[in-house]
Structure 1
Amino acid sequence: MTRRLIACGLLVLASVTACGTRTPDNASQTLPTAPSTPSSTASSAPATPSSEDRGAAPAGVQRCGPDALKGEITPTDAGAGNRYGKFVVTNSGSAPCTLNGYSGFQLENGSGAVPTKLERKADPGPAALTLAPGGKASANLHWSVVPAGSEPVEGTCQPEPSKVAAIPPNETVPLSVPWTLGPVCSGGRIEISAFYAS
């Protein structure tokens, strides 16, 4: 009996959990997790909504999905190789819907995707909007028509888009919007703001 107690005491001192004793070292254990896989960051993929886009919708009001929205892109200003416009969406449904955050935005033409590098700007940032039927929201756009890097100086700097696949915030299906504002240089770089009431 004495030998058993001595052996148990030595095991406790050695931080081994014999005799039913729990030490702080083994009080909580973390199971190994599977390694995370890197997400795809291809420039041709429309930007997906981030957690900052997400806002609680008023009770009973659905998000503005692609079926409820009609979109258009209108120019607003131009100068020194810079172009400015607005991506305007209208609630074409029969019920109010909510919108909060940034749109995905992929330039396209008859051959498919055209290089697009979407950059989100925080002015204005995300804000919860409720669009009544016929209500509108806008996102500001800015791009360049000056060739950059290895883009050709003669002709068009990038393939000319004819439409945009635009994904509303927190949605996965795009709506198709005509693009009539020419090529977008700097590899298709477009700055976009979050939607705001207009």
Structure 2
Amino acid sequence: MAAALAVTGCTSQSSGPSKVSSSSGGPAPGDSRTPPHSAPPRSPSTSAATSGKTPGGGSASGAGRTPSSRPPGQGAGFPHCSPGTLSASLRQLEAAAGNRYAALVLTNTSDRPCRTQGWPGLQLTSEGGGRIPTETARDRAHEAQPITLKPDDRAWSRLHWTVVSSSGDAADGSCPTPGALRIIPPDERHSLGTGWDLGTVCGKGRIQATALSTGEGPAH
């Protein structure tokens, strides 16, 4: 069920605090649609300067596993990577004492390129789809970069959470075990989902997420 959630994925241009809580609504994102180009004046010099250029500076054909990071402004002719054009998967990474890590991988399953930049929004749910309290915290280990995903290209975010109960968890020290994860791509309001078989999440559902990067992350 791709239901709309009360949070949005965040771009590097977003202002405000570095934490996004799924239990309360956030500010509505700005209009991320590319504004239409105004018609250039009919003059020989303008025609020569604008002829032969296409949005994104390249061909939209071809598939690959290595998406390209583009300088700001490039790839603007492509639509945002929306839930309808993506699939999601989770892969467990090496754990540490009391800490768990996973690679969240988004794959462009459409037949055309799309663009994305920033941090995903996250919502843990039960197997039946009920919401589990979740807090997405932006991990700023690296800056968000504009990414263009061709068909079958992938982008990933490292997720980090704790399995050690704290004062904010249940009084008996138990923590919820989610059944699925909903993901809101940057600049979007709707979500896509994937199963969660990574065990309990403590710390009141707080998950740190890095900005999306090209590729699918480390093998382990």
Q: CA deviation at 1:196?
A: 0.4
Whole-angstrom distance in 1 between the partners of 2:214 and 2:123: 23
Q: CA deviation at 1:156?
A: 3.3
C-alpha change, 1:67 and 1:46, in structure 2 (3 Å) is farther
* 65, 86, 106: which one aligns with 1:69: 86
1:59-104 CA-partner distances (Å, limit 9, x unpaired) = 4311110011000111111121100111100000111110111111
C-alpha change, 1:42 and 1:97, in structure 2 (3 Å) is closer
Residue 8 of structure 1: aligned partner: none
Q: CA deviation at 1:177?
A: 1.4
Q: CA deviation at 1:49?
A: 8.3
Residue 204 of structure 2: aligned partner: 187
- The answer to whether residue 44 in structure 2 is matched with residue 44 in structure 1 is no
Q: What SS does the corresponding residue of 1:186 show, helix, strand or coil?
A: coil
Residue 115 of structure 2: aligned partner: 98
C-alpha change, 1:89 and 1:43, in structure 2 (3 Å) is closer
TM-score by length of 1: 0.70
Which letter does structure 2 place at the counterpart of 1:167? I
> How many residues get paired?
156
Which letter does structure 2 place at the counterpart of 1:121? D
- The answer to whether residue 164 in structure 2 is matched with residue 146 in structure 1 is yes
Which letter does structure 2 place at the counterpart of 1:192? A
* 123, 128, 143: which one aligns with 1:125: 143
Whole-angstrom distance in 2 between the partners of 1:137 and 1:63: 13
Residue 104 of structure 2: aligned partner: 87
Between 1 and 2, higher relative CO (CA 8 Å, sep ≥ 6) is seen in: 2
Q: CA deviation at 1:111?
A: 5.3
Whole-angstrom distance in 2 between the partners of 1:48 and 1:81: 33
Whole-angstrom distance in 1 between the partners of 2:182 and 2:25: 8
Structure 1: state its 5+ residue gaps.
1-40
- Higher Rg: 1
TM-score by length of 2: 0.64
Preserved CA contact (<8 Å) 1:83 1:144: yes
Residue 108 of structure 1: aligned partner: 125
Q: Let me know the Cα RMSD of the aligned residues.
A: 2.6
Structure 2: state its 5+ residue gaps.
1-19, 34-71, 216-220
